[in-house]
Each structure stands twice: as C-alpha cells, then as structure tokens.
Structure 1
Amino acid sequence: MTIQNVSSFAKGAWVAPGAGARNIASAITGDVIASAGNDALDVQGMLAYARDVGGPALRRMTFHDRARMLKALALHLREHRDALYELSFNTGATQADHAIDIDGGIGTMLVFASKGRKEMPDSQVFVDGEIEHLSRNGTFLGQHICTPLQGVAVHINAFNFPVWGMLEKLAPTLLAGVPAIVKPATSSCYVTELAVKIMVESNILPDGALQLVSGGLGDMLDHLTCQDAVAFTGSADTALKLRSNPKILGNSVRFTAEADSLNCSILGPDATPDTPEFELFIKEVSREMTTKAGQKCTAIRRIITPASVTEAVIDALSARLAKTAIGDPRLETTRMGALVSAGQKRDVLEKAAHLATEATRVFGDPDDFAVEGADPEKGAFVPPMLFYCDSPDTASAVHDTEAFGPVSTVMSYRDVDHAIALANRGMGSLVASVITHDTEVAREVALGAGAFHGRIYFNNRDSMKESTGHGSPLPHMVHGGPGRAGGGEELGGIRAVKHFMQRTAIQGSPDILTGVTGQWVAGATEIDAGEHPFTRKFGELAVGETLHTASRTVTLEDIEHFANFTGDTFYAHMDDAAAKRNPFFPGRVAHGYLLLSFAAGLFVEPNEGPVLANTGLDGLRFMKPVSAGDAIKVRLTVKKKTKRNDEYGEVRWHVTLTNQDDEQVAEYELLTMNAF
C-alpha cells in the first residue's frame, strides 16, 4: 500500500514530512495510510510570512472583496468535494457524515460570504454601534470602529471535522482581514491537507493568507504577540495547557477555546409516549449518538427524562439503536462508521468503563457486536452504548466524564427544577436541548439553565419539520459555551468576524468621524449636490452630498384629507380638545406618515433615472409635532454607499425634516437602489 506523505504549506511552498513524522492509520482497517509532521518546520518564518505578506494583502481588500473571495473559495471547494469525500472515508466517516463535515464547512463559508456583503460595508473599517454624543452642541462625538488585527490567527483544530473545523474558523478570520495558520489534528490531517491544496491551487487567496501545519506546531505559540489570536478546539486539558503559555498570558494573546462538553437533552414533562415530542426525542438522541460515531463536540452525552417515562425512553431508544448498521463507511447500508483511530477507541472504552462504575449499561456490548464489511478487531469500531444512572444527584462520572464516541447516559428527574439542576451539573456545555410543547417549561429552562449552556435548542411538533437538529452549530448562531466547554465563542454571524478585529473608540468632530468611517455623520461638512442627486448614478454620488428642499405648508385641509383618505382618524388629528388633553400635543397635529409623504414629495425626482427602487427606511423618529400652518422642509444627505452587484448599489440617505423655525420634527434613513 502506498503511504501518503501529508505535507505542510509554509511560506508559499509545500514541505514534506521530515524528522518527527508520525504514521496515520486507517480507521477502517488499521493499516498505515499516511505520514505527517516535520520538526524542522520554520514556524517563526511562517508567522513572519503571514504578518508581512498575507496580512497587508488582506487588509488592502474591503470587506466585500474578502466576502467575494470566500464565496469563490467555497464554490471551488464544492466542485472538488468528491475527492474530499473519498479521502474522508478513511477517517471512519459515512457519506451522511460527509454532509456535515465537508458540505457543512462549504455552506458555512458561503453564509459568511453572504453576511459579509449584506451586513458589512464595502470598506476597510467596520462601524460598531451608533454615534455617541459627547458634547452639548454636537461638535465632539464618539464612535466605535473595528479594524483587523495586524498579526496572524493560529487555528488548532480537532480530528472529528477536518474540513468544517477548518472552514468555520477560517471564514470569519479571512473576512476580518487576518491571515491564518491552520493546524489540524494529525489523525485526520490528510483530509485537511487536500482541502488546503484545493484552495491554494485555485489562486483565489492572496499569498500568505493561508498556511498549513501538518503535525506539531513546535514552539510557534512562544512567538505570538498582542496582534495574534489562537482559536482552539479539543480537550479541556489541552486548552488549559495552551492558554497557560507564558507568551499567550504575558502578551494578552486572544485565546478562544471550544473544549469538552457534557451536552444534555431534556424530555419535557408534557412529552409522554403518545405525543409527537416523545418520538422526536428518541430520533434526536439516537441521531446524536451515532452521527460521526458520536465524535461530535455537540453530541448528547446525558439524557434527562421524567421518572415516569424513563423506562419507556430506554426501551424505545434501545430498539432504535439496534437498527444502526455498523460497518465500512463506504457501504450504502452503513449508518455508523468507525472512530477515527485505535487510540480513540481505547479512550472511549476506558471512559465507558469509568461510567459503568456508577451507571448500568442497558444497550451495546463492545465485546459482542456486528460489523459489516470490515474486521472489528483491526478497525476502530465500537457499538452505540447506552447507560442508565439511577442516582444522578450523587453520581459524578456521568456529569464530568465525556466518552467521545457513541456513548450516552439516561437519568431521571422529579420536576423541571430538578431537570435544570442535572443539566447544569455538567458545569458548562455547548448545547442543551429541550423537547417540549409547553412554553412555560421552555421559559423555566431558559432562565434556569441559560447561564450554563452556550446554546439551548427547543424543538417540538411545530418546528420539527424545519429544525436543524440538536447537534448542528449554525454559522448564524454563537457556537461555544461556558466553563468546561471552554468559555469561548465561535460563529454567531458577524460576531465571529469581530473576534479577529480590534474595537477602538474614536473621538472627534463630525468631519473627523466621517473621514475615518466613510459614513456621513450629522454635523459634518455637506457637499452641495448641485443637480438633483436622484439624477446621479451610484458611482457619481459622494458621501456627504446634500440636497436642501423648498418648504411646504401643512394645512388643516391636508390633515383631514389624509385622515379620510387613509382611514387614520386618530383623535390627535381630528379632535382638537382631545388632542390638547394629551401631554404630547398642542392641539390637532399632522399625521407622522403625512409628513413622510410630504417629505418624499419635496425631494423625489419624478422622472426615470438611476434610482431604481425605494427599499425601506430605518430609524424613523418624530421629535416635534407639526400643526396646521407649520411649514416643513427636508435635508437629504448621502450617508453611506454599498455596492450590491455590477448593476446597482444601495444608497443610505440621511433625511431630516425641520419646521419654519429650523426645529427638527423628524429624522430617518432612506434606502434606495441606484444603478451604476
């Protein structure tokens, strides 16, 4: 058999295994299939290459440039995913597992690409939050911004998801504008290496944006600075060792950990065996125990059920697990493949034996189970193992020992408070799920358990057809957890991007803030629009360009006509005495939406032109009522421009309505799509 040499990608070149290389065995056969590692890897040179070459190249790009880069990378990976599938079988993963790891990783990258275009500016500065008014007259303001760290992100990933584990960290890092050095777990690094080769050979990435360490990191962490970051997935013991590195502590290097997690699933007291929720619960637990052979950081390790149905849960779950076909993951009939390695098999069996000191195994005998298409003695196969703990209040192992495989323990609860207490005994998890149709139970668990769990997943008959499952970290939602789970966060949309950026408080005049952020700030210098800005194409408009309109007097006839035409006959518009009894009004006043309509009439250019559509308005506020006889005028300013595609872009206009005394009566932001 040919043994694959798994290379590292350092300073723009592939480096073959060398001194210190380790052999990697197939999870299916136990045969050596690859070799990885090189103790002579120039880790300091890699850091310098990322900082000096990759970082500047990425920072020259805008967020939208980087988002387009991510999309192109994801689509390129998708074109080559069959090769990744074929190689990944050697890790013990089934085709269904590939959908989570490979397709899931590509999908995550596409989500970040989309969010980067929709939620971030087409610039190099990310504005975080609203303007803070720090002075009486508005000449001194504050604004928080985020800019990329000027270092490198070191990603240390676990063995169970060699593609998703890399891409879910890589996507927000590159979107932030920070280069990455990826270090996958050695036991499955040959799959990560292929994914990196596919991306590198696409020529989509700038030089230095991505490097790969196949094998050990050497002393790389000893050379990190305050501009660098470490994102780690693995055991809590390893996380503690890494984050205790003197350089990481001394230089305040950002360290994010996603570690051990005794995740649980609670069956609500309303979910009796005759309800859809009971069947859903059995399906969810079974799937989470067997997907990736239970090698998921989000897998269900503790099954918490009402005492009255515990026996029914054990029977139903055992019957379902008995249908799980174990074997060579390449076989279409296989539903659960192997653990990643013989070492992982030994660890799982040792942990299961420890659980057995305080819980009874009720399903799954590791000495007697069938494996189709492979030798169970040579491959890293184990059966699903279900335990029952009859004394969860005094037990310890079931709440602090994670057998990282298809192993889970059932335990009973007396009431919802007891269920919450058991869930929290895990001292921090990535996810807890609750299967219930009772909204009050959901509220109790959210309030009682939320502080101990990074995510709480509720499901029932209403959401079961569209829900994504207990064990699915979504790029839109935060992935991480307190305590034992590592105390970090990943994913969560643009939140993840900001982990690799520095938030800085900017203080200064409106002109200074406008210049720094690229977004017009009220009070900054206005640019005379000259011709009507609605006659100008997207690329011709300048931020700060302003139109001042003529005024229009609001009459009592206008107010009454608008009321009768729209049906909005609220008393403040129609009954002078009633309006005067209201502390907000001097008497009858104009409708707020009448003012918006009149404002549009004052600033809209009616002829066909580059303005393609009005897509909405944000931040509408009414500051002062307008009475009959008052005159309103409008200031329309280009606040922000965001390119959407090659045909049009979004223009955000700052709109202010003032009366005849120059008092502000309304303010909002108008969104239009303008042609190029």
Structure 2
Amino acid sequence: MTIREVASFAAGEWVAPGQGARDIASAVTGEVIASAGNSALDAQAMLDHARGTGGPALRKLTFHDRARMLKALAQYLDRHKQVLYDLSFDTGATQADHLIDIDGGIGTLFVFASKGRREMPDGHVYLDGEVEQLSRGGTFLGQHVCTPLQGVGVHINAYNFPVWGMLEKLAPTILAGVPAIVKPATSTCYVTEACVRLMLEADILPAGAVQLVAGGLGDMLDRLTCQDVVSFTGSAETALKLRSAPHILENSVRFVAEQDSLNASVLGPDVDPDSPEFDLFVKEVCREMTAKAGQKCTAIRRIIAPEDRVEAVIEAVSARLGKTTIGDPRKETTRMGALVSASQKRDVLDKVAVLEREAERVHGDPEDFTVDGADAGKGAFLPPMLFHCADPDRARRIHDTEAFGPVSTVMGYRDLDHAMALANRGEGSLVTSVITHDGDVARQAVLGAGAYHGRIYLNDRTSMKESTGHGSPLPHMVHGGPGRAGGGEELGGVRGVTHYMQRTAVQGSPDHLAAIAGQWVPGAAEVTGPAHPFTRRFGELSIGETLHTEAREVTLADIEHFAEFTGDTFYAHMDAKAAERNPFFPGRVAHGYLLISFAAGLFVEPAEGPVLANTGLDNLRFMKPVEPGDSVKVRLTVKKKTPRTEDYGEVRWHVTMTNQDDERVAEYDLLTMNAY
C-alpha cells in the first residue's frame, strides 16, 4: 500500500514531510495511510510571504472582487469534490458525513460570496453603523469604519471537519482582505491538503493568500503581532495553553476560540410522547449522536426531559439507536462509521468511565457490538452509548466531562426553570436546543439560558420540515459560545468578516467622510451633471451628482383627491377639527404618501432610459407636516453605486423634500436598477 506524503504549502512552495513527520492511520482499518509534518518549516518566511505578498494583493481588491473569487472557488471545488469524498472515508466518515463537511464547506463559501456582494460595498472600506452628527450645524461628523488588518489569519482547525473547518474560517478571512495560514489537525490533514491543492490548481486566489501547515506550527505563534488573528477550534485545554502564551498576551494578538462544549437538548414541558414534537426530539438526539460518530462540537451531550417522560425518552431513543448500522463508511448501508483514530476511541472510553460514576449506561455496549464490513478490533469503532443520570443536581461530571463520540446522557427536570439551570450547568455551550410548540416556553428558555449559550435552536411541527438541525452551524448566524465553549465566535455573516478587520472611529467633515466611504454624506459637496441623472447610465453617474427640482404647491383639492382615489381617509387629512386636536398637526395635512408621489413626479424623467426599475425605499421619515397651500421641492443626489450584474447596477439616491421655508418635510433613500 502506498503511503501518502502530506505536504505543507509554505511561501509558495510544496514542502514534503521531513524531520518529525508522523504516521497517520486509517480510522477504518488501522493501517498507516499517510505521513505528515516537517519541523524544518520556516515560520517567519511563511508569515513574511502572507504579509508581504498575499495581504497587499488581497487589499488591492474590493469586497466584491474578493466575493467573486470565493464564488469561483466554491464552483471549482463543487466540480471536483469527489476526490475529497474518496479520501474522507478513511477518516471514518460516511457519505452522509461528507455532505456535512465537504458540501457544507463549499456551501459556506457560496454564502459568504453572496453576502459580500449584497451586504458589503464594491470598495475597500466597510461602514459600521450610521453617520453620527457631532456638531449642531452638521459640518463635523463621525463614522465607524472597518479596514482589513495588515497581518495574517492563523487558522488552527480540529480533526472532525477537515474541509468545512478550513473553509468556514477561510471565507470571511479572504473576504476581509486578509491572507490565511491553515493548520489542520494532523490525523485528517490529508483531506485538507487535497482541498488546498484543488484551490491552488483553480488559480483563483492571489499568491500568498493561502498557505498550509501539515503538522506542527513550530514557533509561528511566537512571531505574531497585533495585526494577526489566531482562530482556534479544539479542546479547552489546548486553547488555554495557546491563548495564555506570554507573546500572545503581550502583543494583544486577537485569539478566537471555538471549543468543545456540553451542549444540551431540552424536551419542552408541553410535549407529550404522542406528539410530533416528541418524535422530532428523538430524531434530533439520535442524529446528533451518530452523525460523524458523535464527533461534532455541536453534538447533543445532555438530554434534558421532564421527569415523568424520562423513561419514554430512553425507550424511544434506544429503539432508534438500535437500528443504526455501524460499519465501513464506504458501504451504502452504513449509518455510522468509525471515530477518527484509535487514540480518540481510547479517549472516549476513558470519558465514558468517568460518566459511569454518576450515570447508568442504558444502551450500547462497547465490548459487544457488530461492525458491518470492517474489523471492529482494527478500526476505531464504537456503538452509540446512552446513559441515564437519576440525580443531575448532585452530579458534577456529567456537566463538565465530554466524551467526544457517540455518547449522551438523559436526565430529568422538575419544571422549566430547573431545565434551564441544568442546561446552564455546562458553563457555556455552542448550542442548546428546545423542542416545544409553546411560544411561552420558547421565550422563557431564551431568557433563562441565552446568557450561557451561543445559539438556541427552537423547533416544532411548524418548522421541522425546513429546519437545518440542532448541530448545524450556519454561515449566516454566529457560531461560538461563552465560557467552556471558548468565549469567541465565528461565522455570523458579515460579523465574521469584521473579526479580521479593525474598527476605527473616523471624525471629520462631510466631504472627508464621503471620500473615505465612497458614498455621499449629507452636507458633502454636490455635483451638477451634464444632463438629467435619469438619462445617464450607471457608469456615467458620479457620487454626489444632484438634481434640484422646481417647487409644487400642495392644495386641499390634491389632498381630497388622493384620499378619494386611495381610500385613505384618515381624519388628519379630512377632518379639520379632529386634526387640530392632534398634537402633531396644525390642522388638515397632506398624506405622507401623497408627498412621496409628488416627489417622484418632480424628479422622474418619464422617457425610456437607463433606469430599469424602482426597487424600493429605505429610511423613510416624515419630519414636518405639509398643510394646504404649502409648496414642496426635492433634492435628488446619487448617494451610492453598487454593481449587481454584468448588465445593471443598483443606485442609491438620497431624496430630501423641503417646503417653501427650506425646512425638511421628508427624507428617504430611493433604490433603482440602472443599466450600464
């Protein structure tokens, strides 16, 4: 059998295993299949390559440029993922597990690519929040902005997700404009290496954007600066050792930790054994115990049920687990494969011995189980094991000991407050789920447990068909948790991108902020275009280009006609005495939407042109009532331009309507799609 040499990709070169290399065994057969590691890697050269070559190349690109790269990368990996499937079977993962790891990682790239194009500017500065007016006259303003760190993201990943674990960190890092050095766990690094080779083969990312360490990092962490970020996934013990290193502390190196945790699932007090929520609860528990052989940082470790339903839960979960086929993950009939290694199997059994001091094993015997198509003695196989703790209040180890495998413990609760207290005994988790059809139970659960858990997953008969599952971190939502879970967070859409950026408070004039942000700010200079802005294509329009309209008088007849035509006969528009009793109005006033319609009539160019569609209004505010006899005029300004497709882009116009005394009566952003 050929032993695969897993190389590192350092400073633009592939470096084969060398001094200090370690053998890697198949989780299924126990045979050595690969070798990885080279203690002679030049850590400083890798950091210099990232900071001096990868970082500058990425920062020259806009957020949209980098988002397009992520999409192209995802498409390429999606076309070539079979090679990753084939390798991943030796990690003990089934084809269903591959969908979580490999397809899940590719999907994460797609999500960040989409969010980058839709939620971030086609520029180099990301705005965090609205403009703050720091002076009475509006000539001195403030704006929080985010710019890319000028260092490198060092990603230390766990063994259980060799592809998703890399891509879920890599996507926001690259989108932020920061290069990455990826260090996967050695036991499954051969899959990560294959994925990195595919990415480099695609020739999409600039040189220095991604490097790979197969094996140990050496002294790399001792060479980091305040511009670098360490993103760690793994055990609490290792995280503590790394994050408390003097160099990390002295230099305030950002350290994001996502650690294993004692996640829980709570069966709501409203759920009876014959309800759809009960069946859902059992399915969720069993899926989380058996997917990836329970080697998921989000897996359910504690099953919390009403005391009078504990027996029913044990019976139902045991029956379902009893149907789980354990075996060679390559076989289509296999539902649960092996743990990642023999050492991991030993660790799980050691932790099981600890749990047995406080809980009784009610299902699964590690000494007597069947493995289909493989040798249980040579592979890292274990059966799903279910425990019951009769006294969870007095117990301690079931709340602080995680057997990182197909192991979970059932315990009973008296009332919902007791259930939340038990969930919180884990001292911080990535996720707790609550299966309930009662909105009040859901609310109490969030209030009672939210502070201890990074995510609370609620599910019932309404959402069960479309829900993604207790153990599925989604790129749109924050993944992380307090306390034992690490105290950090990943993913979360654009929030995850800003972990690799510096938030800076910028203060200055409207013109300063407009120049920095790449979008017009009220008070900044206006530009007069050569023609009506609606006659000019997307690429021809300039930020700050402004149209000032003529004035139009608003008459009582206008108000009454609008009321009759639309059916909006609200008293403030139709009844003078009633309107006068209203503290907001001097008498009968114009409809707000009448004013918006008049605004469009004042600034729209009716002839066919490059404006393809009005797609909406944002931030609409009515500031001063308009009475019959008042006149209104409009200032229309190009605020922001965002490319959308090859054929058109989105133009955000700032619209201000004023009266005859130049007082603002309405203000909003208008969105149009304009042809190139």
TM-score by shorter chain over 0.5: yes
The CA distance in 1 between the partners of 2:635 and 2:61, in whole Å, is 33
Letter paired with 2:581: R
In structure 2, the residue matched to 1:630 is: 630
Q: 1:529, CA displacement in angstroms?
A: 2.1
Number of the residue aligned with 1:365 = 365
* Aligned residue identity for 2:41: L
- The answer for the alignment partner of 1:596 in structure 2 is 596
Q: Deviations over 1:264-286 (max 9, x none)?
A: 00001111111111111000000
Q: Which residue of structure 2 lines up, in the alignment, with residue 10 of structure 1?
A: 10
Runs of 4+ in structure 1 off by over 3 angstroms are: none
**Partners of 1:668 and 1:269 in 2: how far apart?**
47
Structure 1 distance, partners of 2:36, 2:292, is: 23
Aligned counterparts of 1:582 and 1:444: Cα–Cα separation in 2: 39
Residues 1:84 and 2:84 aligned together: yes
Matched AA of 2:399: H
- Give the AA of the match of 1:297: C
SS at match of 1:504: strand
State the secondary structure of the residue aligned to 2:429: coil
In 1, the alpha carbon distance for the partners of 2:276 and 2:168 equals 34
DSSP-derived class of the 1:367 partner = coil
Q: Deviations over 1:503-548 (max 9, x none)?
A: 0000000000001111100000100123100000000000000000
Aligned to 1:419: 419
What is the deviation of 1:552?
0.3
Aligned letter for 1:634?
A: V
Q: Does 1:308 align with 2:308?
A: yes
- Letter matched to residue 344 of structure 2: Q
Equivalent residue, structure 1, for 2:610: 610
Deviation at 1:99, TM superposition (A): 0.3
Could you tell me which residue of structure 1 aligns to residue 580 of structure 2?
Answer: 580
Distance 1:539 1:330 in 2: 54
SS at match of 1:88: helix
Distance, in Å, in 2 between the alignment partners of 1:610 and 1:234 is 53
Give the distance between the partners of 1:447 and 1:511, measured in 2 at CA. Answer: 45
Compute the RMSD of aligned alpha carbons: 0.4
Which amino acid in structure 2 is aligned with residue 549 of structure 1?
T
Pairing 1:490-509 to 2, within 5 Å after superposition: 490-509=490-509
Q: Secondary structure at the match of 1:531?
A: coil
Match of 1:163 in 2: 163
Aligned AA (2:157): N
Letter matched to residue 643 of structure 2: K
User: What's 2:43 paired with?
Assistant: 43
Q: Establish whether residue 265 from structure 1 lines up as the match of residue 265 from structure 2.
A: yes
- SS of 1:110's partner is helix
Q: Which residue of 1 aligns with 2:245?
A: 245
Cα shift at 1:164:
0.2
Structure 1 counterpart of 2:475:
475
Gaps of 5+ in 2: none
1:645, distance to aligned residue in structure 2 (A): 1.2
Q: 1:127-185 deviations in whole A, cap 9, x for unaligned?
A: 11000000010000000100000000000000000000000000000000000000000
Letter in 2 for 1:14: W
Letter in 2 for 1:387: F
Which amino acid in 2 is paired with 1:319?
A
* Mapping of residues 633-648 of structure 1, within 5 Å: 633-648=633-648
Distance in 2, Cα, partners of 1:143 & 1:556: 42
CA distance in 2, matches of 1:246, 1:146: 28
Residue 541 of structure 1: aligned partner: 541
- Partner amino acid for 1:601? G
Partner of 1:229: 229
The CA deviation at 1:381 is 0.2
Letter in 1 for 2:559: I
In structure 2, what is the Cα distance between the partners aligned to 1:515 and 1:421?
52
Q: Secondary structure at the match of 2:454?
A: coil
Is the partner of 2:621 in helix, strand or coil?
Answer: strand
**Aligned counterparts, 1:314-325, within 5 A:** 314-325=314-325
Using the TM superposition, give the Cα deviation of residue 248 of structure 1 relative to its aligned residue in structure 2, in angstroms.
1.0
Distance between the aligned counterparts of 2:530 and 2:142, measured in 1? 31
SS at the partner of 1:449? Answer: helix
- Secondary structure in 1 matching 2:620: strand
Aligned pairs for 1:84-163 within 5 A: 84-163=84-163
Cα distance in structure 2, aligned partners of 1:478 and 1:410: 27
Matched with 1:562 is 562
Output the CA distance in 2 between the equivalents of 1:596 and 1:517. 28
> CA separation in 2, counterparts of 1:630 and 1:251?
62
**Residue 428 in 1 paired to residue 428 in 2?**
yes
What SS does structure 2 have at the residue aligned with 1:455?
strand
In 1, Cα distance between the equivalents of 2:198 and 2:390? 51
Q: What's the counterpart of residue 276 of structure 1? A: 276
TM-aligned CA deviation for residue 337 of structure 1: 0.1
SS in 2 for 1:129: strand
Paired amino acid for 2:217: L
State the distance in 2 between where 1:271 and 1:72 align: 46
List runs of 5+ in structure 1 lacking aligned partners: none
1:201 shift after superposition: 0.9
How far apart, CA to CA, are the structure 2 residues paired with 1:293 and 1:2?
A: 27
Q: Deviations over 1:490-514 (max 9, x none)?
A: 0111000000000000000000000
**For residues 559-602 of structure 1, what are the alpha-carbon distances to aligned partners after superposition, in whole Å with 9 as ceiling and x for unaligned?**
00000000000000001111111111110000000000000000
1:339 — aligned with what?
339
Matches within 5 A, 1:50-65: 50-65=50-65
CA distance in 2, matches of 1:534, 1:12: 49
* Correspondence for 1:410: 410
Equivalent position amino acid for 1:571 in 2: Y
Count of aligned pairs: 676
> Which amino acid counterpart does residue 14 of structure 2 have in structure 1?
W
| Counterpart position of 1:177 | 177
TM score, norm. by length of structure 1: 1.00
CA distance in 2, matches of 1:104, 1:516: 36
Amino acid across the alignment from 1:242: L
Matched residues in 2 for 1:673 and 1:183: separation? 43
Question: Distance between the aligned counterparts of 1:193 and 1:85, measured in 2?
Answer: 13
Q: Distance in 2 between matches of 1:516 and 1:436?
A: 49
Structure 1 SS opposite 2:334: coil
CA distance in structure 1 between the aligned counterparts of 2:5 and 2:39, rounded to whole angstroms: 15
Supply the AA of the counterpart residue of 2:197.
Answer: K
Distance 2:117 2:235 in 1: 35
Between the aligned partners of 1:483 and 1:596, the Cα distance in structure 2 is 51
Q: Deviations over 1:79-105 (max 9, x none)?
A: 110000000000000000000000000
CA distance in 1, matches of 2:248, 2:544: 44
Counterpart in 2 of 1:220? 220
2: CA distance between counterparts of 1:412 and 1:117?
47
Q: Is 1:459 equivalent to 2:465 in the alignment?
A: no
| Counterpart-to-counterpart distance in 1, 2:124 and 2:260 | 36
Deviations 1:228-278 (A, max 9, x none): 000000000000000011111111111000002000000011111111111
Matched, 1:384 2:384: yes
Which residue in 2 is equivalent to 1:197? 197
* Secondary structure of the corresponding residue to residue 14 of structure 2: strand
Aligned-partner Cα distance in 2 for 1:482–1:99: 28
Q: Secondary structure at the match of 2:430?
A: coil
Encode CA deviations 1:370-393: one digit per residue, 9 max, x unaligned. Answer: 001110000000000000000100
Give secondary structure in 2 for the equivalent of 1:496: helix
| Letter of the 1:116 counterpart | G
Q: Secondary structure at the match of 2:586?
A: coil
TM-score of the superposed pair, with normalisation by structure 2: 1.00
**How far, CA to CA, are the matches of 2:410 and 2:609 in structure 1?**
67
